[in-house]
Chain A
Amino acid sequence: DIVMTQSPDSLAVSLGERATINCRSSQNVLYSSNNQNYLAWYQQKPGQPPKLLIYWASTRESGVPDRFSGSGSGTDFTLSISSLQAEDVAVYYCQQYYGTPPTFGQGTKVEI
């Protein structure tokens, strides 16, 4: 299985400041035939299921605020929240869908 490792496990960010979460895959998740990174990001708030934020490493899901952005390629990826809002307090997960089974990172808790 492809192992997804996120860092840090938690971070505290002031309102309006930038939050940056890293994700590393144990294998390349860039598919050469279509030049797409098979990498998604999710947000999970307490008592709720995960919510898809970004796919193909950098494509925002419909309705997701543009303060959320994804970058990276191959094995190293980043989720950035440009100006943290109170409603962004959550746990964030990366997920690869290049290999079977799809696998998730352990999560990064973002607090104010």
Chain B
Amino acid sequence: QVHLQQWGAGLLKPSETLSLTCAVSGVSFSDYYWNWIRQSPGKGLEWIGEIKHSGSTNYNPSLKSRVTISVDTSKNQFSLQVTSVTAADTAVYYCARGTSAIAVRRFDYWGQGTLVTISS
């Protein structure tokens, strides 16, 4: 059974760096693209970016300058960092499995979500 378990800090101050990690089990990690998606009342569901086991990444252009997605294949984990956060980055962040195909970005398994609040 595919399972995504995510964790990370839930409360940050403006200008700090958001860090989240997602551990994947029950599936061949190398076969799929692994994604971060966030959900906020103001912007709805927003795709942040994806990574393959090779380390190849693609990012949403709107966030690209502040986002880094990395992978640890030895642990079947991938991580998200967002620098210089503001209140606009307050959201529930999800990790999610994409497909095995390039640029076929739909999401069939999701982590449980992490509420990240940015407040001074």
User: B-contacting residues of A (Cβ < 8 Å)?
Assistant: 38, 40, 49-52, 55, 61, 93, 95, 97, 100-107
Contact = CB atoms under 8 A, between A and B. Distances in A.
A93 B58 CA distance: 23
16 contacts: A49-B94, A49-B96, A49-B110, A49-B113, A50-B45, A52-B107, A95-B106, A97-B103, A97-B104, A97-B105, A100-B103, A100-B105, A101-B60, A102-B106, A103-B47, A104-B47
B111 interface: yes
Interface residues of B, number: 20
Interface of B, secondary structure class, is loop
Nearest to B97: A52
Nearest to A97: B105
A106 B44 contact: yes
A97 B110 CA distance: 17
